[in-house]
């Protein structure tokens, strides 16, 4: 905050060329993930046919939905990149959490379907039979898929973009489900048939709990949840040290409106200050607040006293 006050900018911030390079790298991460999901899905279909394991089939269905979810996330990224300022004056960044909510809802629905099928197979006590050749093919494919997914997870975790982070979370989820599916399928063949549907139930419960938390997190970001106190304290410090003519800080409010914060500030300036000087103080403060990486937009209201009622009232 002190560096921003002194220099007017964030130290170590990216240049325009560096931001373009980062955007290209993020697009590359998304494209590589989509191509890998397509190839790995084909490999897992073969493993499912060879093994007929419910846990492996559950992991394969997850890969199928990865392709659908990848299209959803690609569409949201494309829509955000081409905003229509006549129809969407503040842009389309809310498309990001909406796309992630749709993504997570589809994954949670998959988990419910797998859970029901696993319980049905567990009750019916149907067995899992696999030849030595089929078992070797299944193990080789599932191990290879798990290694590729782990590498993709590490690669996507390098980025801060929420969509790329959603891909990283999905790759991590695939590492877990592939490992559980492989282990339970092998144990079911070697020891007892009930292990396979039990593994599928574990995958389903993990799917539903993980993506339910993701849905709740992104829903909260869309309904205007307040910023944490330490962030509001940073804003207050930045505002108070912005200009020596600021007499009072009436309001400092930050709330989510998508992946980032909207900030509303009311400051008090001397009553006899010329309009052009008051405007310059307010405008430079707005620009300074919007340089913070967590802030999407900032609104600065200038007043000459602070005894009035709040300017905006919530409608019931």
CA angle, 179 as apex, 176 and 183 as ends, to 5°? Answer: 140
Is the Cβ–Cβ distance between 305 and 270 less than 8 Å?
no
User: What per-residue confidence (pLDDT) applies to 257?
Assistant: 82
- The CB-side HSE value for 157 (13 A sphere, CA atoms) comes to 10
Q: What is d(CA 8, CA 287) in angstroms, rounded to the nearest whole number?
A: 9
- 288 domain residue, yes or no: yes
Per-residue pLDDT of 87-139, as tens digits, reads 777 777 777 777 778 777 777 777 777 788 778 777 776 655 666 776 777 77
Per-residue pLDDT of 138-179, as tens digits, reads 778 778 888 888 888 888 887 777 667 777 877 887 788 778
- What mean pLDDT do residues 228-252 have? 92
* Three-state DSSP state, 253: strand
Give alpha helix (H) positions in the chain. 2-7, 16-51, 54-81, 95-124, 132-156, 162-190, 195-222, 229-240, 275-290
Are 200 and 273 in a shared domain? no
- 6 domain residue, yes or no: no
- 294 domain residue, yes or no: yes
Domain span holding position 236: 229-303
Residue 259 has pLDDT above 70, yes or no: yes
Residue 288 sits in a domain of what CATH number?
Answer: 3.30.70.1350
- 237 domain residue, yes or no: yes
Residue 235 has pLDDT above 90, yes or no: yes
Is the Cβ–Cβ distance between 59 and 177 less than 8 Å?
yes
User: What per-residue confidence (pLDDT) applies to 18?
Assistant: 64
- Backbone dihedral angles phi then psi of residue 206, each to the nearest 5 degrees: -60, -40
- 5 domain residue, yes or no: no
Q: What is d(CA 214, CA 300) in angstroms, rounded to the nearest whole number?
A: 33
Q: Tell which of 222, 247, 265 closes a domain.
A: 222
User: What per-residue confidence (pLDDT) applies to 69?
Assistant: 67
Q: Total domain count for the chain?
A: 2
């Amino acid at each position: 905050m002190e560096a921003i006050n002194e220099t007017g900018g964030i130290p170590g911030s990216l240049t325009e060329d560096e931001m373009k390079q980062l955007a290209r790298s993020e697009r590359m991460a998304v494209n590589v993930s989509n191509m890998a999901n397509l190839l790995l899905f084909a490999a897992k279909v073969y493993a499912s046919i060879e093994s007929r394991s419910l846990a492996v089939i559950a992991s394969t269905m997850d890969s199928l939905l990865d392709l659908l979810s990848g299209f959803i996330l690609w569409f949201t990224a494309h829509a955000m990149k081409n905003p229509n300022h006549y129809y969407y004056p503040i842009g389309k960044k809310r498309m990001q959490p909406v796309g992630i909510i749709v993504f997570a809802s589809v994954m949670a629905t998959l988990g419910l379907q797998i859970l029901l099928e696993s319980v049905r197979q567990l009750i019916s006590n149907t067995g899992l039979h696999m030849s030595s050749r089929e078992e070797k093919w299944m193990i080789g494919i599932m191990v290879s898929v798990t290694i590729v997914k782990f590498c993709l997870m590490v690669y996507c975790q390098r980025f801060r973009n929420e969509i790329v982070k959603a891909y990283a979370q999905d790759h991590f989820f695939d590492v877990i489900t592939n490992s559980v599916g492989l282990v339970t399928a092998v144990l079911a063949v070697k020891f007892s048939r009930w292990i396979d549907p039990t593994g599928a139930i574990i995958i389903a419960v993990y799917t539903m709990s993980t993506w339910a938390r993701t849905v709740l997190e992104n829903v909260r970001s869309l309904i205007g949840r307040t910023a944490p106190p330490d962030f509001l304290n940073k804003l207050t410090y930045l505002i108070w040290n912005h200009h020596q003519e600021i007499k009072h800080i009436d309001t400092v409010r930050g709330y989510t409106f998508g992946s980032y914060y909207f900030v509303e500030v009311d400051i008090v300036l001397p009553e006899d200050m010329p309009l052009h000087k008051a405007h310059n103080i307010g405008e430079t403060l707005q620009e300074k607040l919007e340089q913070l990486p967590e802030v999407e937009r900032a609104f600065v209201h200038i007043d000459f006293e602070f005894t009035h009622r709040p300017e905006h009232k919530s409608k019931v």
